[in-house]
Amino acid sequence: MTTDLAKTAADLERLLRLRAIPFGMKLFASVEEMTSIPRIRRPKGSVHTLDQIVAQAARLGWTVGITAEDLVGSQCRAVVGLTPQDGTWKAGANYVGVWYATPEDARAHQEAMEVVPHGSYRALAVSPLASGRLAPPDIALFYATPGAMMYFINGLQWRGYKRFDWSVVGESACADSWGRALKTRQPSLSIPCFAERRYGGVLDDEMLMALPPEMLAAAIEGMEALAKNGFRYPFPQYGIQQDVRAGMAVSYGAKA
């Protein structure tokens, strides 16, 4: 599995021209399980957003483990099931007048979020896929441009076509990516929110994909097949005033 994940990460970087490291996320029933991971780093008294912990894997290549106490506030903790999604959390009082006009708006936002049910997990770790330290992770994640994300989705749809439907909760968009993927075991695409960009270093042109790691092989197979048909990322510009037939003939042949 370690070798497979290392090759998978290299294939993703090659096919999608990734600028950040593909990484994994795993939940643990006990703190001892999490701390037993080789060469794992701990925050050591610092308090972070989960966006920052994720960025340490994606931007620095670190393997990092956390518990609820390492995260600021209930929002980061609750999305991954490390604290309860109780009445206080669902009320979202801290967001009234900050992100939402009324208490009703804040509550509606909290209830719209996809979160991991509380009760089964005490800790979480993130690590580059290529390291193989999570063996295997619950979900794999990577940041990429919108064009690269569309190409990846095309790869997923090459065999066993499925329409994908995603939603946008707005702020706390981690619920659209790792929250949803951990909960549903389905590919989950998000537009990273303000907190992810301010605290997690996400670039302005990046989106985030989260999905079970076993689905990556199918997407890579699909992208390799598309490449043979002349569809590769980055997409070469053809020209907005050119006769389109010659360009389309490269991929469609006589069908064009």
Res 51: pLDDT: 97
> What tens-digit pLDDT sequence spans the chain (256 residues)?
556 999 999 999 999 999 999 999 999 999 999 999 999 999 988 999 999 999 999 999 999 999 999 999 899 999 999 999 999 999 999 999 999 999 999 999 999 999 999 999 999 999 999 999 998 999 999 999 999 999 999 999 999 999 999 999 999 999 999 999 999 999 999 999 999 999 999 999 999 999 999 999 999 999 999 999 999 999 988 899 999 998 888 888 876 6
pLDDT at 65 (0 to 100): 98
Question: In the prediction, which pLDDT does 3 show?
Answer: 60
Alpha helices in 85-238, H assignment, sequence order: 87-91, 103-112, 146-156, 178-184, 194-200, 216-228
With b for 16 or more beta-carbon neighbours within 10 A and e for fewer, the 194-211 pattern comes to: ebbeebbbbeeebbbbbb
The residues spanned by each domain of the chain are 2-144+164-214
Report the alpha-carbon angle 224-186-190, nearest 5.
Answer: 85
Q: What is the pTM of this model?
A: 0.94
Q: What is the pLDDT of residue 48?
A: 97
C-beta atoms surrounding 213 within 10 Å: 20
Provide the 3-class DSSP secondary structure of residue 127.
strand
Q: Which of 239, 46, 18, 15 is nearest to 144 (CA)?
A: 18
Q: What is the CA radius of gyration of the chain?
A: 20
Helix (H) or strand (E) holding 8: helix 2-16
What is the Cα–Cα distance from 77 to 175, expressed in whole angstroms? 11
- pLDDT given at position 77: 96
User: 70-94 burial by CB neighbour count: b if 16+ within 10 A, else e?
Assistant: bbeebbbbbbbbbbebeeebeebee
CB 177 within 8 A of CB 184: no
pLDDT the model gives residue 2: 55
What is the pLDDT, as a whole number, of residue 256?
61
Of 235, 6, 236, 35, give the one whose Cα is nearest residue 130. 6
What is the predicted pLDDT for the residue at 250? Answer: 86
